[in-house]
A and B are shown apart, each in its own frame.
Chain A
Amino acid sequence: MRKVSFPKMGPSYIAFKMMLEEFGHEPIEPPVPSKRTLSYGTTHSPEFACLPFKVLTGTYLEVLEKGADMLVSSGGVGPCRAGYYGKMHEKILNDLGYNPELVIFDPPLRAPWDFFKKTRKLKGKTSWYRTADILKRTWKKLIALDDLEIKASKVRPRQKNYGAASKALNKGFSYIEEARNAKEIEEARVEGLSLLENVKDNSEYEPIKVGLIGEIYVVLEPSVNADIEEMLGEMGVEVNRSIYLTSWTRDNTVADGEKDIKEAAKPYLDQLIGGHGQNSIGETVLYGEKGFDGVVHLAPFTCIPEIVSKSIMPKVSKDYDIPVLTLFLDEQTGKAGIKTRIEAFVDLMRKKRRKEVG
């Protein structure tokens, strides 16, 4: 039995934990990235590495202390740095005297054989038939988790009692965590959704709508973006997140399902630049077309693709008359600072809407 761990990215750990257990490994649950994680991460990462890299370094060191001997993560084919994380982490961890096995999954279509070998390594002695079933259930869990989050972002701005939606969401997560087979997962999903449905709300309140875009890790992991989605929701803003883990995987790993986003970005950025750079431009265009009140753009400090998109963003924002707030996050970013800027941004959007209506 191997002790296996993986980076934390939003609530997805609930699904991955089950997957590893079913494959017969002992999952080491990745801790919520904390000050300690970041201090480990910044000490042992290159200074100008982006925040996700540092968080991952910290997480790996923390789970290695807990005895993990195999680390699973996703790779990439560039030109964003994230594709090289795995190799770099291996080098750094070896240099520190750790020798865990790193299993880095690159997109299956680019290297099918490699993907197959890594899946075989991960599944161990489990039969292929059972592996397919486990993967199917993991996928189901991920979708259920995403569904709850999507629902919560709609319920939260309309709730009557502060924090009620988040409480219901967490309860829903715990249902999904307990569920094992397909039927149970479906039941947990429905039960979680109805919990959120039953949160008391102001039905006549029409919240302002914001699109949340940017680099995948800082958008998906609340502990590094100062819980921005919840923060906006509690301020009475409906958040439409552009990225969900299941949608990302659906779009990128098997077929290119982001054609409309790329098409929208073309007049401004006619080139794939890796990471989420081109998407950020395209998504802003689409949110502008749909009449959203604003866009919050999250990126890790020194993120190369997002720097390119940020420099083009003012033009997009002007052409579509949609305000964009770009936040570059690093290990020094404090919640209070972000909150102040978000409050000011929400004020601006409210004023803009009043002017347009009145």
Chain B
Amino acid sequence: MSYRVGVPRSLAYYSFFPLWNSFFEELGCEVLVSRESNKGVLDDGVKETVNDACVPIKLYHGHVKDLKHKVDYLFVPRLVSLDGKETTCPKFLGLPDMVKHSIKDLPPLIDLRLDLRKGKFELWKFFKRLGEKLGKSTWEVFKAYVKSKKIYYRHQKLLEKKASPELAWKIIKGEKSEEELNKMVAENPVKIALLGYPYTIYDPYISVDLLDKCKKMSVDVLTVENIPGKELLRQKKKLSKEMFWYYSNNTIRACLYLLEKKMVDGVIHVTAFGCGPDAMVDKFLEIECKNQGNIPFMTVAIDEHTGDAGMSTRLEAFVDMLNRKRGFK
């Protein structure tokens, strides 16, 4: 029989939804993604979590609550290592436990561990266990695995062509064509890097639409996902000791890459209030931007109280400054 699997639209979802969604769908499951973040979802999450948690974690709890009565299984994987080297942040590591012990009356959780440090075929093994849980045969799982992986790579390639995750998904689904993407990629004189984790950058609610705001100001925006994975890995040797967290490392490597290639006029670091790893990342980026060509740098901290007007003002001021620096206006 086919199950209804609930996938919270938060955290790692923003990096892996092409992989997860197509995998479940290939297996004939109905995938129910929680609704887009909004005040209701966030408030629900805030009620369930400790006040010291960062806003993405609170939001995640809200998304879980949104799904809990609607599905047979809830997909809350324990993502330990996503690149076979570093782990994710401790809150990701303890996420299934936090969810389990803070929200009542949950449907059965799928909290399988994904730790790519364990070996080469760990990803396949993860999906195999996942398929077993859903009662599928190995062959069915294998087909779904191969196909969803292909879709995931296609998605990655489109991101590298500067598509947003949403647009890339639409192209894959055939709702938009790739030519449209080429047209959309504008060449504006001022280029900024919007660095941060995909779950803050691409969630329009908690980032108060930061990405769109930038685009409306006719500046070119680059995010971590727009930089080819190989180039990011190449930056590794610049550091004598890397940080321990997957997303943080990517952010830092992206910044080093953009600084090395002199691709941006300014860097905005988007961070969630109280984000542990970002306390380190932020200072790191600030010092690097200063030391490598004195690139203007701004930190934007978001939390559950972030207002639209405040964010717009800061963004406008920053972009104005970059424009003036370039001699325009």
Give me the interface of A with B, judged by CB distance under 8 Å. Answer: 45-50, 53, 77-81, 83-84, 86-88, 91-92, 95, 268-275, 277, 301-305, 307-312, 314-315, 328
How many angstroms between the C-alpha atoms of A303 and B280 in the bound complex? 13
Q: In the complex, A307→B61 CA distance in Å?
A: 15
Contact flags (1/0) for B243-262 with A, using CB distance below 8 Å?
A: 11100000000000000000
Contact A274 B52 (CB under 8 A): no
> How distant is the Cα of A305 from the Cα of B91 in the complex, in angstroms?
7
Residues in B with CB closer than 8 Å to A78 are 86-87, 243-245
- Using known A-B contacts A301-B52, A307-B50, A308-B97, determine if residue A277 contacts B90 with beta carbons closer than 8 Å: yes
Given contacts A53-B279, A304-B91, A305-B90, list 11 more A-B pairs with CB under 8 A. Answer: A79-B86, A81-B277, A81-B279, A91-B284, A271-B94, A275-B90, A301-B52, A307-B52, A308-B97, A311-B101, A312-B94
Q: Name B290's closest neighbour in chain A (CB-CB).
A: A95
A87 touches which of B50, B88, B240, B277 (Cβ 8 Å): B240
Q: Nearest CB to that of A275 among chain B residues?
A: B90
Smallest CB separation, A212 vs chain B (Å): 20
Asked if A48 and B244 make an inter-chain contact with CB atoms under 8 angstroms apart, the answer reads no
Q: Can you pick out 28 interface pairs between chain A and chain B where the beta carbons lie within 8 Å of each other?
A: A46-B279, A46-B283, A48-B274, A48-B279, A48-B282, A49-B279, A50-B276, A79-B244, A80-B90, A81-B277, A87-B240, A91-B284, A269-B97, A271-B78, A271-B113, A274-B90, A274-B93, A274-B244, A275-B90, A277-B90, A302-B274, A304-B90, A304-B91, A305-B90, A312-B94, A312-B102, A314-B101, A315-B101
CA distance A45 to B89 in the complex (A): 20
Nearest Cβ on chain B to A92's Cβ, whole angstroms: 7
Query: B282's closest neighbor in chain A, by CB?
Result: A46
Which B residue sits closest to A94, measured CB to CB?
B287
Interface residues of B in 261-317 (CB under 8 A from A): 273-280, 282-284, 287, 290
Q: How far is the CB of A44 from chain B (nearest CB, A)?
A: 10
Task: Kindly state whether residue B80 has any CB partner on chain A within 8 Å.
Answer: yes
Q: Cβ of B53 < 8 Å from any Cβ of A?
A: yes
- Are A273 and B98 in contact, with the CB atoms below 8 A? no
- Asked if A273 contacts B287 (CB within 8 A), the reply is no
CB < 8 Å neighbour of B94 from A47, A92, A277: A277
- Of B90, B101, B113, which contacts A268 at CB under 8 A? B101
Provide the residues of chain A in CB contact with B86, threshold 8 Å.
78-79
Give the chain A neighbours of B243 by CB distance below 8 A.
78, 84
B52 engages A271 (CB within 8 Å) = no
The answer to whether B94 touches A273, judged by C-beta atoms less than 8 angstroms apart, is yes
B contacts with A, residue count (CB < 8 A): 37
Given the interface pairs A95-B287, A310-B50, A314-B101, the reply to whether A81 lies near B280 with Cβ below 8 Å is: yes
Distance of A39 Cα from B88 Cα, bound (Å):
32
Alpha-carbon separation in the docked complex, A277 to B52 (Å): 14
Q: Known interface pairs A307-B53, A311-B53. Does A88 touch B283 (Cβ–Cβ under 8 Å)? A: yes
B49, B52, B240, B273: which has the most chain A beta carbons within 10 Å? B52
The reply to whether B287 and A271 form a contact with Cβ atoms under 8 Å apart is no
Contact status A87-B241, CB under 8 Å: yes
In the complex, the answer to whether A49 meets B280 with C-beta atoms within 8 Å is yes
Would you give the 0/1 interface string for B83-116, flagging 1 where the beta carbon is closer than 8 Å to chain A? Answer: 0001111110110011001100000000001000
Contacting residues, chain B, for A301 (C-beta < 8 A): 52
Instruction: Specify which of A84, A88, A271 is in contact with B93 (CB 8 Å cutoff).
Output: A271
Residues of B within 8 A of A312 (CB): 94, 97-98, 101-102
The residue on B at minimum CB distance from A302 is: B274
Residues of A within 8 A of B91 (CB): 304, 307-308
Rounded to whole angstroms, the CA-CA distance of A92 and B86 in the bound complex is 24
Contacts of A80 in B (CB 8 A): 90, 244
Cβ-defined partner of A48 (8 Å) among B90, B241, B276:
B276
Interface centre among B94, B113, B244, by most chain A C-beta atoms within 10 angstroms, is B94
Residues of chain A within 8 A (CB-CB) of B245 are 78-79
* Contact between chains at A48 and B278 (CB < 8 Å): yes
A84 to B279, CA, bound (A): 11
Q: Report yes or no: A304 in contact with B276, Cβ–Cβ below 8 A.
A: yes
Measured between beta carbons, the chain A residues less than 8 angstroms from B50 are 307, 310-311
- Contact: A310 with B52, CB < 8 Å? yes
* Residues on the B chain within 8 Å of A269, using CB: 94, 97
A311 and B98 contact, Cβ closer than 8 Å, known pairs A48-B274, A48-B275, A303-B276: yes
Question: Could you say which of A79, A95, A269, A273 has the most chain B C-beta atoms within 10 Å of its C-beta?
Answer: A79
Residues of chain A lying within 8 A (CB to CB) of residue B113 = 271
Nearest B-chain residue to A278, judged by Cβ: B94
Distance from B89 Cβ to chain A, minimum over Cβ atoms (Å): 6
Tell me, in angstroms, the Cα distance from A50 to B49 when the chains sit together.
20
Q: Cβ of A272: which chain B residues have Cβ within 8 Å of it? A: 93
The CA-CA distance from A84 to B244 in the complex, in Å, is: 8
Pick the most buried of A77, A303, A308: most chain B CB atoms within 10 A of its CB: A308
A-chain residues with CB within 8 Å of residue B49 when the two chains form the complex: 311
| Residue numbers in B under 8 Å from A315 (CB-CB) | 101
CA distance A271 to B283 in the complex (A): 29
Kindly report which residue of chain A lies nearest to residue B273, judged by CB atoms. Answer: A48
The docked-state distance in angstroms from the alpha carbon of A312 to that of B240 is 36
